[in-house]
Amino acid sequence: MISVLMLLSLFVNFAISGAPVSLAQGKGGEVVAKPTPAPKKSTPKKSTAKTSRTSGLRSGNASTDEIAFWTSIKDSTDPEDFNAYLKQYPKGKFVTLAKNRLKTLEGTNSSPKPSTTNPSPTNPNPTNSNSSNMPRMRTNQAGIEFMLIPPGSFMMGSTNGSDEKPVHQVTIKYSFYMGRFEVTQAQWQSVMGNNPSSFKGDLAEPYIKLPVEHVSWDDAQEFIRKLNEMNDAYRYRLPSEAEWEYACRAGTTGDYAGTLNDMAWYAENSENRTHPVGQKQPNAWGLFDMHGNVWEWCEDWYHETYSGAPTDGSAWLSGGEHKYRVLRGGSWNYYARSAIRVYFPPDWRNDAYGFRVVAVVRTP
């Protein structure tokens, strides 16, 4: 039998240490007391949730979007790019660098410069190549919003598909406006007076913001012809393949301009339908749905490789069989790499085919 003295000693130790006590049997059958081990403190698991842009700013770490934005503008000569960065990321990681760069550029740009460049074979769109006096975003009479795309160089194509080779450098010496969103059904309806789309939406997601689809290259040209009849200061057209990929990449070099699920409606997440434009994250130049949602018609005739392709950003309209036009960007029922391309006859329609519009300054 355990003695009263032993029990008293145990309870005194418990009162001092706070550790729970249990009784056990020793090797000779005697009852011995041993402390029950205190439970180990669990180490909290790190959250697997993706860091949002705002939480990245609070923690002092640059978010993926911020880094992509900075990478795309850090060598820019346009002060508006750095003003846009400071406005979007007032507490960002690169604020000091942006302010210093802005001071330098504003000092450099204080001297007068010509507002336009002369038309030349290497500059098919004689818009303002400096672009510092052009608004970063504009909206036309049809309600189409445009983002200013600055001049620059990039490596076009990839090694993934035979018709994406050879990878080659393209230098675009002019600025141009690219549609911020794919042309919507509401915009098509206002210009054309009809709606050819297969996906008309529902009460939760009305057709008004869904991308127009089931339109051919020829249909897109008719829409653009009507835009040009507005006779504003801009000429509207489809983007060239080079312009499209340059705008899609927005300074990136990989397969995607960011995290695909965050940027695109595509085969893995679309639930077999289109979605209203602008719901996913934009790329670093403020363009939405460049990956996925609907394929987008380009101006070019399709060629099986890039051998002999223009390197100045212009559409490839010479050579080849002139049977098919190019579509870029992937769709709700496909994948969406920056360099992926498909081709179909210009009169072909499908519920995954849409487009977006480019605007360039009219010349006399």
CA dist., res. 291 & res. 289, Å (int): 5
| pLDDT band of 130, cuts 50, 70, 90 | low
Q: How confident is the model over 289-330, as pLDDT tens digits?
A: 999 999 999 999 999 999 999 999 999 999 999 999 999 999
Backbone angles phi, psi at 126, to 5 degrees: -75, 60
- Cis ω on the peptide bond leading into residue 166 (within 30° of 0)? yes
Q: Which residue has the higher pLDDT, 98 or 113?
A: 98
- Range 123-361 classified under CATH 3.40.630.40: no
d(CA 14, CA 23): 13
pLDDT for 174-196, tens place per residue? 999 999 999 999 999 999 999 99
Could you tell me the pLDDT band of residue 169, with boundaries at 50, 70 and 90?
Answer: very high
CB atoms within 10 A of CB 41: 6
Question: For position 83, what pLDDT does the model report?
Answer: 81
- pLDDT tens per residue, range 273-289: 999 999 999 999 999 99
Which residues are within 8 A (CB) of 4 and not within 5 positions of it... i.e. 6 or more apart?
Answer: none
Mean per-residue pLDDT for 102-106? Answer: 67
Who wins on pLDDT, 119 or 196?
A: 196
Question: Domain ranges in the chain?
Answer: 4-35, 53-109, 123-361
Question: Which letter does DSSP use for residue 126 in this model?
Answer: -
pLDDT digit string, tens, across residues 21-41: 333 333 333 333 333 333 333
